[in-house]
Structures are given as structure tokens and as C-alpha cells.
Chains A and B, each alone.
Chain A
Amino acid sequence: MKEGEAAEENITEEEVDKVYRRLNAQVEKSGYHLNPDVEFTKDLVRGLLANEQRYGYWSCPCRLSANNLEEDLDIVCPCYYRDPDLNDYGACYCALYVSDDVIRGEREVESIPERRPPREERDAARVEEKKRTEMMETMEFSGELSKPVWRCKVCGYLCAMDEPPGVCPICKAKKERFERFM
């Protein structure tokens, strides 16, 4: 293993560049913005790629992964906390994403408080959610709704279909990040 930060994954500059450019184009299309400090942002992309190699998914580079997708589903980038943090602080927790006012130079990006609940609370919330999902699954549709409604937990997109889409058409989050809404 080589010395240095996240170096053991052997991620090349070219890879980081490629992913950065692809991600930037994709988020701009959906109305989001990456941090305009390109060096900073590329460091975060390198961290995401390192976490992909280590854990198999884009765990937030600024949070400790549980190495378990079910436990980390809330912190897979883009995380469930991104949009509220963009509203309150102008940046997400790791500052990969920033708000319009930061892009316009009207707001500074800084290190912000952690919004993710502590572990015990998250464990309890997951149990509750499972119960809720089971309840929803057995719920019958009588009259009012012709289809179940699914909510993307990353961006809030709603759709009425028999199942959630494979990928969120707005933010590209995967199917497992949808919850039954109605």
C-alpha cells in the first residue's frame, strides 16, 4: 500500500477528472450545482471513488461508513440531508453540492453541523419505517387512488406507478431510495 490519503485505492487523476465532468454535467441538468472550488470538489470525488471501491457504493466522504448499504442508505451521495442543508447552509454536509446563492458569490461555504441523527435514533427509525412499509404493502386501494404513490427520499420526486422507477428521473437516485408515500 502506498502512503498518503486514500491512496491505497490507486485512483488516477484521469478517473477523477472523468467522473467530475460527468457528475457536473448531470447535476447541472437537474438544477443542482457542484462546489465551484474545483480542487475541493475533485478531492471529494476521489473520496467517493475510494468509498465505492471499499464499500461498493458512494458513501459520503465526510461520514463514517458502516460498510452496510442498508445502514448507510441515508448517506449514499446525494444523501437525504443534502436538500435541507442546501436550504439552511448553502451547501451539503461535505460541500460537494452548493446552492444558487453560493454560485452567485452571495454566500460563503463553511463546515456545517451534522444533521444526520445519532446511530440509536437511526436504528429506531429504520425499525419504524419497516413497520410502516409492511403496513403500506397490505393496504388496499379502494376507489380514491388508482396507483400507489412513491417518493424519492433524495429529492422528493413523486410518481404514481405500480412500482418506483429504477432510477429517479430528477436526481438519478436508485430504486431502493424510494419510499411508499400514499
Chain B
Amino acid sequence: MDLSNQSNEKGSHVSGIDRGKVVMYGLSTCVWCKKTKKLLTDLGVDFDYIYVDQLEENEEDEAVAEIRRFNSSVSFPTTVINGEKAIVGFKEKQIREALGF
């Protein structure tokens, strides 16, 4: 999903150190997603975050299909790295390791 023209409610891009393509799928109401977003921000990596609950129906279907590739229960947050692997939940240690910290 191209986030360059997206409003802040649906998600945004956060600029930082390039550690691959990092996309956090979350919900705007979820506190674990908020913690994950804060962790990624504090680590200073370049990432996108998408609030799936704020998307239009077709965009939501697209996001859910992408999450399902990695996480059959489609739970949040799901942080996808380089479209290859995903970390489900606010797993600080796993996220740090996956991003080389």
C-alpha cells in the first residue's frame, strides 16, 4: 500500500535508519500496537504503520489478506519485515533482533 498520500488516521511513514522494509499493521485503538509503534520509533528505523480499522473496506480487505499470509489469526500488531517474515504481537526482543539491534 502506498502511504505517501495517506492521512494520519490510516497510517503514515516514519523516516529513519534503513533496516529493510518494515510495515506495522495495527489498530488505532490497540495499546499493544501503540507500544510497538513507539518501540520502532525509539529504535529510529524507517517504517510504515497502517491502522487497519481506519481503512476503507477494499483497503481493509487488502491489508487483511497481506496479514493472513504471515498470521492466520489476523491479530494486531503484525510487523512485516521485507515481505518475508512477521512478528506477531508486541515482542520487544524479537523485534529488536529481527531489525539487527
Contact = CB atoms under 8 A, between A and B. Distances in A.
Same complex origin of A and B: yes
B91 interface: yes
Given A8-B9, A64-B53, A118 B31 contact: no
B64 interface: yes
B29 interface: yes
Interface in B5-59: 7-9, 27-34, 51-53
A47 B8 CA distance: 17
> Is chain B's binding surface mostly helix, strand, loop or mixed?
loop
B98 to A, nearest CB: 15
B73 A114 contact: yes
A64 B52 contact: yes
- Of the candidates B29, B34, B52, the one having the most CB atoms from chain A within 10 angstroms of its own CB is B29
B31 A62 contact: yes
A118 B74 contact: yes
A44 interface: yes
A166 B5 CA distance: 48
A16 to B, nearest CB: 12
